[in-house]
Amino acid sequence: MKKKNNKYSKGITLIALVITIVVLIILAGVSINLVLGENGLFTRARQAAEDYQQAAINEQEMFNTLYNEIGTYVGNPPEEQAPPKPIEPQLKDYIGKERVVNNTTVYDQYNNPIVIPAGFKIAADSGTNVTEGIVIEDDDVIEGIGNGRGNQYVWIPVSNIDGKGTNKIKKGNEEIEITLGRYTFGDNGKEKLEQTAENYANETVIDQYYSELKVYRDGVANLNVGTNRTAKDLKGFIDSVGANGGYYIARYEASYGKDNKPNSKVSNNPNDTDTAPTTEGYLWNNITQIDAAKACENMYSTISSDLVNSYAYDTAIVYIQNFSNNQNYSRTNTINKNLSNTGTIKDEVCKINDMASNCHEWTTENCTRTGTREGTEESYNYTCTVRGGGCKYPDSNFSANRGSDPANAYYKQYTFRPILYIDTPAS
């Protein structure tokens, strides 16, 4: 019997084995769930890592905000307000240097593009960015006349053409949008866009009588049936501004230059006779609108020129009010009561002179106002439009002023201002 019992004491029973296996399976399941389950060890470890990364990001953001706020008090500019990395070529490297051979795009310190036309240079007294006014000068220089006599023009940057507001103009940390268009200006100087360049063909009438005609016509110098001379290529001007981001307006009121062409340079003398001047260095007043337009056309072989149109004139005022300290320039009255030499009246904003002073300026804008000659029943047409302040009525004339006269009219206080626009996009 003893020998028989020893047979069963050397192993485990089948039931015990099954129970052991079941227990092991249960323990394994619990362990796997603790490690890999929804709230398992791995999940918790991963969540802890993510929480740590987010906390680090939040801490950095709080630190940046605090740094920026402190910088506004101690003079350390926030990192996002630092000037953008300059784009080459830089405007500053062209100021007062040689004339460019081809149309050349340069950039000011805020990366605003400026196109220098072929044959022109950046004037020595130009501003260094579009806020100050960028001045170009041609090579028409005669010793002893008009203080050097090179014609000078100021770049008018435009950011919005045909309804597209791309390439906004930078003014420090601000971005300014300037739309090429025809404007009216309220008593507080605030501009109101009346017609965009996109719909130039509609010939919108503003201020009851004034429109910019889409087609070119020569003009007829007549009291009764006269017509003004219109823009030689209005669409070409608009397309050029859209392609190049701006145009040029004469820095000064025009004076008589050689070959019957206008000159725009400081210190030209007023013309006190009743006829247009024939001597270099005299302000080209006493000129009809038609003759003024003829003089402005085809001044250069490398760039288009014309008498200033209403789009160019109004947009220049908008530019001045956005980029100078005078946000009411459109309603600024003339400073002088008598004709003065150009550029001597201290009416200079963004390098542009006398738009509010000295002479009214002929434009290509058409007028439909009619009237009756005093003391007669004879009617006549005020088809020609003058703009800007004039010294004849210093208390009622201002830079955005619109006036009109017949096509054969000329007066001492009437002169004009050319514009330039690039024919092809610059390199």
Per mean pLDDT, which of 217-231, 369-383, 385-399 is the most reliable? 217-231
Residue range 183-203: mean pLDDT, rounded: 94
Q: d(Cα 135, Cα 132) in Å, to the nearest integer? A: 10
Find the DSSP H helices in 358-413: none
Phi, psi of 140 (to 5 degrees): -85, 80
Query: In this structure, are strands 152-157 and 169-171 parallel, antiparallel, or unpaired?
Result: unpaired
CA distances 88 to 1, 94, 117, Å, are 110, 12, 17
Task: Give 135's strand partners.
Answer: 154
pLDDT the model gives residue 146: 40
Peptide bond into 77 cis (omega under 30): no
pLDDT confidence of 155, banded at 50, 70, 90?
A: very high
Crossing angle, helix 14-36 and helix 41-74, to 10 degrees? 10
153, pLDDT greater than 80? yes
Task: Give 220's strand partners.
Answer: 227
pLDDT the model gives residue 185: 96
Which DSSP string corresponds to 5-53? HGGGTTS--HHHHHHHHHHHHHHHHHHHHHHHSTTSHHHHHHHHHHHHH
pLDDT the model gives residue 145: 41
Which DSSP string corresponds to 324-339? SS-TTGGGPBPS-SS-
Look at 89-98, 216-225, 271-280, 328-337 and tell me which has the smallest mean pLDDT: 271-280
pLDDT the model gives residue 133: 97
pLDDT confidence of 202, banded at 50, 70, 90?
A: very high
76, pLDDT greater than 70? no
pLDDT the model gives residue 223: 87
Residue range 51-71: mean pLDDT, rounded: 62
Q: Which of 222, 243, 250 is nearest to 307 (CA)?
A: 250
Look at 80-84, 203-207, 256-260, 373-377 and tell me which has the smallest mean pLDDT: 80-84
Residue range 58-71: mean pLDDT, rounded: 62
Q: d(Cα 339, Cα 391) in Å, to the nearest integer? A: 7
Distance of CA 247 to the CA centre of its chain: 9
pLDDT the model gives residue 164: 52
Q: Which of 115, 110, 108 is nearest to 91 (CA)?
A: 108
* Per-residue 3-state assignment (H helix, E strand, C coil) for 205-250: CECCCEECCCCCCCCECCCCCCECCCCCCHHHHHHHHHHHCEEEEE
Task: Count the Cβ atoms, other than its own, within 10 Å of residue 68.
Answer: 15
Average pLDDT, the chain: 85
CB 236 within 8 A of CB 393: no
pLDDT confidence of 22, banded at 50, 70, 90?
A: confident
Per mean pLDDT, which of 26-30, 36-40, 60-64, 219-223 is the most reliable? 219-223
Phi, psi of 63 (to 5 degrees): -65, -45
Residue range 305-318: mean pLDDT, rounded: 98
Residue range 374-384: mean pLDDT, rounded: 81
Please give the helix or strand (H or E) that residue 155 lies within, else none.
Answer: strand 152-157
pLDDT confidence of 274, banded at 50, 70, 90?
A: confident
pLDDT the model gives residue 30: 67
Per mean pLDDT, which of 66-75, 159-168, 284-293 is the most reliable? 284-293
